[in-house]
Chain A
Amino acid sequence: MSLGPYASFIVTSYLSAAVVIAVLIAWVAIDYGSQKRRLRQLEEGGVARRSGRSATDFK
């Protein structure tokens, strides 16, 4: 596969898409871990939801 004289523009486009998507995935994953950790800490500190169910229980 030859990308011709404008290869740098094509490669930069695909790389920028890969980087932005990787940042989005990392943001979502890190945020999920952070929210679950904060909920666990609050529950361990004795704060419970009115329903009595764990805030991280999805079942």
Chain B
Amino acid sequence: MLNQGTMTLIDLANPTRFLALTARVLPWLAGATVILLAIGLYQAALAPDDYQQGATVKIMFIHVPNAWLSMFVWGVMSLASLGTLVWRHPLADVAAKAAAPIGAAFTFLALVTGSLWGRPMWGTYWEWDARLTSVLILFLMYLGLIALWRAVEDPSRAARAAAVLTLVGAINLPIIKFSVDWWNTLHQPASVVRMGGSTLDRSFLIPLLVMAIGFTLLFLTLHLAAMRNEILRRRVRSLQMMQASRQAA
């Protein structure tokens, strides 16, 4: 069994086999994403008003999954960057590059929905507190990475530079997570993932978890599809180089 599992992982290093696997898995992942998000939205619609926040608590069902994914995607990119720098895995850079725009979109949504919740609850769309500022920095780092990949034409050079930048940027993840504990912030402390268990009532916790799983599956679906596109883009580039060298000869 172990040997079989190892063989499968090695097989996945081959882009053609990875594409074949993606073609089989993507429809199932997309289907599971739609079902979970539909259930999550239905539960979110039926969730009661919070005694303090009123109906604005419904914003949390999309804000929290996006905030969680903004960090999770950078974590995935950090692992992929290790794969690029340490193991030189052929798909590692593809995985990191494909994840960046998706992570940027989730971080953007976390900032926008957080602001839309903050206006009625805090009386302001924005406050330069540690949590909000560190997430804004994360968003700017995503944009910087995307710009770096676009600026450097040679994919292998871009991969190394982006991997180093991603690993340096990973320092921001614990800062975001613990900012609410280390500093006195307007943003409330952790209430779902914390020592001693969640402080949320089940009527809020269950829709929140279903939405979080649904959004995570959405990320996996989009990530696999974007990786497939990136592999095809690199094939286009190598065929164009072959065509150019043939024409030059």
Contacts and interface: CB of A to CB of B under 8 A. Distances in A.
Interface in B193-249: 218, 222, 225-226, 228-229, 232-233, 235-236, 238-240, 242-243, 246
Interface string A34-59: 01101100110101010001011111
A37 to B, nearest CB: 10
B232 A36 contact: yes
B229 A28 contact: yes
B105, B239, B246, most chain A CB atoms within 10 A = B239
Contact of B56 (A10, A17, A45): A10
A21 B246 contact: no
Given A28-B229, A58-B16, A58-B20, A39 B113 contact: no
A5 to B, nearest CB: 8
A3 B222 CA distance: 31
Interface string A1-41: 11111110110111011001101110111011001101100
A40 B56 CA distance: 50
Interface string B83-117: 00000000000000000011001001100110011
Contacts of A5: 54, 120
Interface of A: 1-7, 9-10, 12-14, 16-17, 20-21, 23-25, 27-29, 31-32, 35-36, 38-39, 42-43, 45, 47, 49, 53, 55-59
A21 to B, nearest CB: 7
B59 A9 contact: yes
A42 B101 CA distance: 27
B211 to A, nearest CB: 10
B243 A42 contact: yes
B222 A24 contact: yes
A35 B232 contact: yes
B162 interface: no
Given A39-B239, A56-B232, 18 more contacts: A4-B54, A5-B54, A9-B116, A9-B119, A10-B58, A13-B59, A13-B112, A24-B105, A25-B222, A31-B233, A32-B228, A32-B232, A45-B243, A49-B235, A49-B239, A58-B16, A58-B23, A59-B20
